[in-house]
Amino acid sequence: MTRSASNSTSITENPVHTILSKILKLIEQFISFAYNCETPMNEEEHHSYSNFEEIFSSLVSSFFFMLSGLQSAPLLQFILRLDFNYWFSKNQQV
């Protein structure tokens, strides 16, 4: 296996990378959804919006849980900056 192939394999198997990729893909899908929504939203669009919200909340909670277990000072500072005023983690049960 070449070095570049080894690096790409380790990146795709990295759980932090996987969750970040899922979050970014969900954001992309949400932007497309929001662009195509009617004003005001119909019942189906409200349901889709709620679904986006639930999935996003779950992914962000998993992301913060995963990062908080790494016990690295720079990562803990990164988490603190991302979660300013505990906006993301306020619904997480500890």
Give pairs for 71-78: CB < 8 Å, separation 24+: none
Distances (CA, A) of 66 to 17, 19, 55, 72: 11, 9, 16, 12
Q: In this predicted model, which residue has the larger pLDDT, 64 or 19?
A: 19
Length of the chain: 94
**Under a CB-based contact definition with an 8 Å cutoff, are residues 59 and 29 in contact?**
no
pTM: 0.69
Q: In this predicted model, which residue has the larger pLDDT, 27 or 93?
A: 27
- Residues 46-74 have a mean pLDDT of 87
